[in-house]
Amino acid sequence: MSLLKLCVPGDRLCGAEDCIPGTGTYLRHGYIFASLAGYVLRKNEGEELPIISVVKETEAQLLPDVGAIVTCKVTSINPRFAKVHVLYVGSTPLKDNFRGTIRKEDVRATEKDKVEMYKSFRPGDIVLAKVISLGDVQSNYLLTTAENELGVVVAHNEAGIQMIPISWCEMQCPHTHVKEFRKVAPVQSEYLQA
C-alpha cells in the first residue's frame, strides 16, 4: 500500500498497462480514471499488475450483489415463495428496504419437491440468505437458503417469545416447550445478542 493520495472524479490515475482498474475507477482510452472522490489505493494481490482502486471515507450506499450473504425479514408467505425485506448486506445495514423472494425450490438443497413453506418460514422471522439473482421486474432479488449456514436465525412464536433452535428444522419455546418447524441456520448463541 503506497502513500494515500487524494483524488476526485475525472482524475487520471495511471495507464492501462501499469494497473488493473478496481472499484471507484473506470477505464477509458487506455487510461484509468477515478470515478469517486477519495483516496487512491494500490494493492498487489499476487498478480503481475497491481489493482488500483479508490476508497471513499464514508462508505456509500451498498447494493446487494449476486453471491452476497444478506439478512432479511420475512414479510409474507404463500405456498410457492416467501417475500422478504433485505435489511443487511453482510454486516452493513441498508438505508432502504430491498425486496426479495425465496422460492420454494431454494429453501433447502435436499427434497426440494417436499418443501412446505409454512414449515420453513413465518412472517417476521429474521433469515440469513444468499443472493442468487437480481431477479426480474416482479420480485427483484432472488435469494436462496439452500445451504447449511443459511436459514432462520431469529424467530418468535405467537406469544412473542424468542424461540431457541434445537435442530436444523425445529425451534422450541423456552417457556412452554412447544416446538415449531423452521428452516434453521446454525448460528452461535453469542451472535444472537448482536
Shorter beta-carbon distance to other proteins: residue 10 or 46: 10
5 touches other proteins (CB under 8 A)? no
User: Measured between alpha carbons, how far is 60 from 20 in angstroms, rounded to an integer?
Assistant: 22
For 70, the 3-state DSSP assignment is strand
Shorter beta-carbon distance to other proteins: residue 27 or 178: 27
Q: Cell for 160?
A: 412473542
Shorter beta-carbon distance to other proteins: residue 137 or 194: 137
Sites for other proteins among residues 106-145 (CB under 8 A): 134-135, 137-138, 140
In whole angstroms, the minimum distance from the beta carbon of 176 to other proteins comes to 39
The DSSP-derived string for 20-56 is: EE-TTEEEETTEEEE-SSEEEEEE--SSSS-EEEEE-
Sites for other proteins among residues 170-189 (CB under 8 A): none
- Count the residues of the shown chain that bind other proteins, applying the rule CB under 8 A: 32
- Give the sign of the dihedral formed by CA 114, CA 119, CA 124, CA 128: negative
**Which residue in 10, 30, 67, 174 binds other proteins (CB under 8 A)?**
10
Closest by Cα among 182, 26, 7 to 102: 182
In whole angstroms, the minimum distance from the beta carbon of 139 to other proteins comes to 10
For 146, the 3-state DSSP assignment is coil
Sites for other proteins among residues 46-105 (CB under 8 A): 56-61, 63, 95-99
User: Measured between alpha carbons, how far is 177 from 15 in angstroms, rounded to an integer?
Assistant: 66
Q: Could you tell me if 125 and 182 are in contact, meaning their C-beta atoms sit under 8 angstroms apart?
A: yes
- Interface residue list for other proteins (CB under 8 A): 4, 6, 8-12, 24, 26, 28, 33, 35-38, 56-61, 63, 95-99, 134-135, 137-138, 140
